[in-house]
Amino acid sequence: MTEGHELVISTDPAHPANLIPELCRAFYNLGWVTGTGGGICIRQGDKVFIAPSGVQKERILPDHIFVLPYPQPPPSPHTDRIFLRRPTVPLKESACTPLFWNAFTLRDAGSCIHTHSQHAVMATLLFGDATSTKTEKIGEFRISHQEMIKGVRLGGTGKALSYLDTLVVPIIDNTPNEEDLKDSMAEAMEKYPDAAGILVRRHGVYVWGPDWEKAKTQAECLDYLFEIGVKMKLAGLPTVLQA
């Protein structure tokens, strides 16, 4: 048995190493993680389970999952991350890992999901200022008076929003390398403490929750709201109504 094998092999369907492949298949069928894009992590106690990067997300197996300690020990001169377990096959942990850690440290999240949903990408192009001459570093997706807003929580982990609330999701600029989004994502999370996710222009969205169920629910609700917000915008309808 390879080192750390027992961390990812379980007959329990609710074990994170079993849930992550199941969820990735579901997200693939939604068009969220095609072309090896996107990712998910689940934090359980003092361990974080993360999907690999650059693989067919609908074909991930429990043995492909990386396990990291939480919190992470301080980085050493030789490594920037500590692992409890790596896959036996040559895989790399998700490029989203530093961004997932933002959700853990800034929101005490139990799970974070990253998708390349076309609805999210279109929302970043039609809301906020997507031009190169913008003066604000962070744009905003805003929508109100939609029933699905009630499935989103304050800060992603707090109380549920109301139908009458205006949902605001910040939009940050993309970078050539995903890990370089870490600081701008953290800046947006600090500036928008009530946001349950961060949109990345021309890229996708990061959504988190106190556990995987609530993170998944919020990812689904936000994706619905991005889609209908885009349709309303294209139809010339206001996405935010006055109370």
| Bridge partner residues of 207 (DSSP) | 113, 197
Phi/psi for 189 (5° steps) reads -65, -35
Task: Specify the DSSP class assigned to residue 118.
Answer: H
Q: Is 6 helix (H, G, I), strand (E, B) or coil?
A: helix
Could you confirm whether 58 is annotated as catalytic? no
Of the chain, the end-to-end C-alpha distance in Å amounts to 61
| Upper half-sphere CA count for residue 2 (Cβ side, 13 Å) | 12
Out of 147, 179, 190, 213, the active site residue is: 147
Name the one residue in this structure whose structure tokens are 């919190």: 71
Q: How far apart are CA 131 and CA 71, in angstroms?
A: 38
Active-site residue set: 147
